[in-house]
Amino acid sequence: MVTKKPKIKQSVGSQYYAFNTPTEDGEFNPSTYEETIKTNTVKSIGVTENSDSTVVKASGIDYESVSSTENVELEVEVVAFDPDDLAKMRGEDVDESGLMSSGSSTQRPYFAYGKVVNKVGGGFRYEWYPKCQLVENTDDIATQEESFSEQNDTVTIRCYAFDDKGHVRNYVDSEASNFPDGLTEEKFFTKPIITKADLTAALAEGA
């Protein structure tokens, strides 16, 4: 018998995102992203997996259950969000005068979203969701009272499968037995990790 004591989660860390450069047809292109953006404005992240499970019956019994994740929704509470990036995620029209126009029927761009889960005692988990779209965002405001109170917003991000195997997320965990030696947060989030080759290239950064 082996007794294990996994580390508990302590706090959410930084968030990262990189806009996808689409194909000529405007479709998701897993090979090209813009420069990664990092912010330290996250208060909390809620994760909801939208899964489908099918029971295979044979010889009058439940033989096996086959499950697949259709998409994942992230509810990200932030203290602030860059207005240019938010407008871009919303697919808004922004002209050279600085006027931002919203509400029209436009296709919202894909982007990769990354987050950090910090654990008690120095552990961590780094995650990339390579194919995401903004679903909605809140923009509530209230009158300032005598003492300051946070007025946070929530952005809801839907994450889709990015390859033909149906994978939605790529991640590494510092407690895993095969955690890559020399991998740092900066290296992992330099650009979205889509394949094993991308992780190998990330490890070579600055080596």
pLDDT band at 50 (very low <50, low <70, confident <90, very high): confident
Q: Give me the pLDDT at residue 15, please.
A: 97
pLDDT in tens, 169-186: 999 999 999 999 999 999
The span from the CA of 43 to the CA of 129, in Å, is: 19
Q: CA 45: distance to chain centroid?
A: 10
Instruction: Tell the residue number behind the tokens 């809140």, with chain if given.
Output: 138
Q: Give me the pLDDT at residue 141, please.
A: 67
pLDDT band at 205 (very low <50, low <70, confident <90, very high): confident
Phi, psi values for residue 197, rounded to 5°: -65, -35
Q: Which is it for strands 124-137 and 170-173: parallel, antiparallel or unpaired?
A: antiparallel
